[in-house]
Each structure stands twice: as C-alpha cells, then as structure tokens.
Structure 1
C-alpha cells in the first residue's frame, strides 16, 4: 500500500476546460487555466517526494479522501480526474486507466484541507464493500 498526502484545497478539472466553436474540449496552458496544470504538477511533486519505488504496473485500487475547508465543494465527481492526471504525471504509473476501481470519500477539515491517496496493487490486494441498513 502506498499512501500520499497532498496538502491544500482539492481542485476540480471541470472548472478549467474550454470548448472551441466546433465543440471540441481543450485545456489552455496559460491564464487562470494554468492553475490546473500547476495543480497536476503539485500532485506529481508530492507523489515523487513520498514514493521512490518502481513504476506500478497492472490495475491499481485507488482510494481518494478529499478534505475540504467547508461544505462548498462543488461536484465531487469532477475531482478524481485532476488527481488521477497528477498521479500519471508523477510517473508512478504508466497510464491513469490503471486506476480502477476508484473509491471517493469527502470530509470537512477547515484547518487542514488536503487529499489523501491510497494505492493498492490489484495483484496483491482485493477490494470489497458492503451496504447495510441503518434500520436494523
């Protein structure tokens, strides 16, 4: 298991995409959109500081814990893309398609917003979950 902590407020990728007149989506590298590229680089940098092992091959069980300043967090489903792109950019994996399944959890921590990423190689671990009624 590999655990990576990235301090700071999580950033969603969807806020930075633009469309051209033909409807094609693209990501600018400059202006306010450069903030997203910097965020990917930040994630990659923290991964490279905290993990010095070999490149992971095969599928990777990925658990992402998002810690926000407050309840104004936006659409949670847009955050994993920016995080997975940063993981790929770090070189710890070859392609972010390896990150499956991805489990996403959100919390409030007004003093220490951050991302905690846990990576488990599917060849060494298995994932299971259960859903239980609160009425019983």
Structure 2
C-alpha cells in the first residue's frame, strides 16, 4: 500500500478550463487560470519525494480522501481528474486508467485541508464494500 498526503485545499480541474473560438477546451500554464497546472506539478512533486521505485504497471485500487476547509466544496466528482493527472505526471504510473476501482470520500477539516491518496496493488488487495440499511 502506498499513501501520499497532499497538503492544502483540493483543486478541481473544471474551474480552470478555458475554451478557444472553436469550443476546444485547454488549460493555460500562465496567468490566473494556471493554478491547475501548478497543482498537478505540486502533487507530482510530493509523490516523487516519497516514492523511488519503478513505475507501477498494474491496476491500483485507489482511495481518495478529500479534506476541505469548509462546506464549499463544489461538485466532488471534478476533483479526481486533477489528482489523477498529478499522479500520472509523477511517473509512478504509466496511465491514470490504471487507477481502478476508485473510491472518493469527502470530509471537513478546517485546520488541515488536504488530499490523502491510497494506492493498493490489485494483485495483492481486494476492495470489498457493503451498503447497509440504517
């Protein structure tokens, strides 16, 4: 199992997309909309400081725990893309398609917003979940 903690509020990719005249989306690397590219690099840098092994080639059970400073978190489904792109950019995996199955959990922690990434090799772990009535 690999675990990485990314300090700071999670950033959603959808907030930083721009469109050209033909409607094609792109992400700027300069100016006020460049925070997304910087966030990807930030995630990749933290992972590269902590993981020194070869790239992982198998599928990885992925658990993302998103800790927000308040209830203003927006659409929770937009956050994994930025995080997965950062994981891929780190070189720890070959393609973010390897990150499956995928579980997203969200919490409030006003004093310590962060993202916790847990990666489990599918060859070594199973994900078992249950939904129970209250």
Q: Using structure 1 for the length normalisation, give the TM-score.
A: 0.95
Deviations 1:17-60 (A, max 9, x none): 11122121111111112111110010001111122222111111
Q: Using structure 2 for the length normalisation, give the TM-score.
A: 0.97
SS state at 2:55 partner:
coil
How many residues are aligned here?
134
SS state at 1:39 partner:
helix
Which runs of no fewer than 5 residues in structure 2 stay unpaired? none
State yes or no: 1:130 paired with 2:130: yes
Deviations 1:98-130 (A, max 9, x none): 111110000000000000000011111111110
SS state at 2:23 partner:
coil
What's 2:17 paired with?
17
Aligned Cα root-mean-square deviation (Å): 0.8
Query: Aligned partners of 1:52, 1:21: CA distance in 2, in Å?
Result: 43
Q: Greater shift after overlay, 28-37 or 67-76?
A: 28-37
Q: Which runs of 4+ in 1 moved over 6 A?
A: none
SS state at 1:31 partner:
coil
Query: Aligned partners of 1:24, 1:100: CA distance in 2, in Å?
Result: 28
Which runs of no fewer than 5 residues in structure 1 stay unpaired? none
